[in-house]
Amino acid sequence: MKQENIKIRNYDNGEGDGNVGYFGGLSRAIRSLATGLKTTMREFFTPKITEQYPENRKTLKMFDRFRGTLTMYHDENNNHRCVACGLCQAACPNDTIKVVSETVTTEDGKKKRVLARYEYNLGSCIFCQLCVNACPHDAIGFDQVFEHAVFDRSKLVLQLNRPGSKVIEKPAAKPAAEKPAAKPAEKPVAKAGEKPTEANVK
């Protein structure tokens, strides 16, 4: 029967080198411990950035770019800027937005599409902000509200346009001002000694 040549290595020091010995291993262990302790001491004296939430709920300030909840901006007269174009709904990869519009007749008899209901399902939003980027009127954006926990999922479906709100009306376009009549070009008069031509004879 063929004898297999088997090498047995000593892995005591973790590197397969059995020649380090007791004091070499001890030295490595102490250096490793010192490295860990150095990190511990550095972090111990570094100013803390941990937020004591929820104790600091009233003073908590999120980063400016934090995306909390999608919101529709309204002014003090309860007007928004959404024209119900549906671009945000088309841009959303998760079918989170539903824009419901209706057609109304304006005072001058024209038909106009207006927003009836802007539905946002917070439960399926991935906070990618594609909807905000797609909106040509800056009608929507993210606020910093992040406490979203509810017991009923249906409460995550929010209506973003406030009751009774309407779209900000654009100021009526001014009628084009009448152009002043062009002055007839004066013909140059021939000076004394100048040869009269068709252009300078009155």
Contacting ligand SF4 within 95-114 (CB under 6 A) = 96-97, 99
Q: Which of 67, 90, 100, 74 is nearest to 167 (CA)?
A: 74
Cα dihedral sign, 79-154-126-92 = negative
Least CB distance to ligand SF4 at residue 31 (A): 50
Least CB distance to ligand SF4 at residue 73 (A): 10
What's the CA gap between 5 and 27, in Å, rounded? 34
DSSP code at position 131? H
Least CB distance to ligand SF4 at residue 147 (A): 17
Q: Which of 32, 23, 36, 34 is nearest to 12 (CA)?
A: 23
Residue 200, both tokens: 């300078």
Residue 161 engages ligand SF4 in binding (rule: CB under 6 A): no
The residue count for binding ligand SF4 (CB under 6 A) is 26
Contacting ligand SF4 within 120-139 (CB under 6 A) = 125-131, 134-135, 137, 139
Residue 167 engages ligand SF4 in binding (rule: CB under 6 A): no
What's the CA gap between 150 and 116, in Å, rounded? 26
Residue 79 engages ligand SF4 in binding (rule: CB under 6 A): no
Residue 94 engages ligand SF4 in binding (rule: CB under 6 A): yes
Residue 193, both tokens: 């000694």
Least CB distance to ligand SF4 at residue 159 (A): 13
Near ligand SF4 by CB under 6 A: residue from 28, 73, 79, 86: 86
Q: Residue 80: which H helix or E strand, with range?
A: strand 79-80
Question: Which residues contact ligand SF4 by CB under 6 A?
Answer: 70, 82-88, 91-92, 94, 96-97, 99, 125-131, 134-135, 137, 139-140
